[in-house]
């Protein structure tokens, strides 16, 4: 299953793809979603915090998801990136927009990554 990610909201412009597979992805380094800002990956691939929202079988499905998100505008300011470009400040408005579109429905329950 492929899910297109396309966001153009609040100064954040993003495009990318998420892929879900029937089996577990090997090697493990390919699991998770890579986020690139200006062509540079920020930190290790992850799930934008979805791993803390999911339990049981839903959490296990994360080992079947990979993807890449390319940030075309936003998420590159001093108030958004942690020093060393290893992660994002979760309080950043751009990060909140990205997270909402990728892992949450309006009700707050997991959406895209748990689909």
In the chain, count of helices (H) and strands (E)? Answer: 3, 5
Please, which pLDDT band fits residue 109 given cuts at 50, 70 and 90?
very low
Please, which pLDDT band fits residue 115 given cuts at 50, 70 and 90?
low
Number of domains within the chain: 1
**What share of the chain in percent tops pLDDT 70?**
90
Cis status, amide bond into 27, omega within 30 of 0: yes
What mean pLDDT is reported for the chain? 86
**Pairwise CA distance, residues 114 & 59, whole Å:** 8
Tens digit of each residue's pLDDT (9 = 90 or more) over 63-76? 999 999 999 998 88
**Domain range holding 102?**
2-114
CATH of the domain at 6: 3.30.230
> Is the pTM here over 0.85, yes or no?
no
Output the CA torsion sign for 64, 57, 98, 4. Answer: positive
Q: What are the backbone dihedrals phi and psi of residue 51, each rounded to the nearest 5 degrees, phi first?
A: -60, -25
- Neighbouring residues of 97: CB distance < 8 A, sequence distance ≥ 6: 7, 9, 10, 12
More reliable by pLDDT, 4 or 86? 4
Give the pLDDT confidence score for residue 107 in this predicted structure. Answer: 37
Instruction: Indicate whether 15 pLDDT > 90.
Output: yes
Instruction: Indicate whether 79 pLDDT > 80.
Output: no
**What share of the chain in percent tops pLDDT 90?**
54
């Amino acid at each position: 299953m492929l899910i297109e990610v396309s966001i153009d909201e609040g100064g954040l412009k993003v495009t990318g793809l998420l892929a879900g597979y029937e089996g577990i992805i090997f090697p493990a380094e390919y699991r998770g979603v890579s986020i690139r800002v200006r062509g540079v990956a920020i930190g290790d691939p992850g799930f934008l915090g979805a791993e803390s929202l999911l339990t049981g079988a839903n959490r296990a499905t994360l080992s079947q998801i990979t993807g890449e998100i390319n940030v075309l505008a936003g998420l590159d300011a001093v108030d958004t990136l942690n020093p060393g470009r290893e992660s994002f400040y979760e309080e950043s408005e751009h990060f909140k927009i990205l997270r909402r579109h990728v892992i949450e429905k309006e009700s707050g329950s997991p959406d895209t990554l748990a689909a």
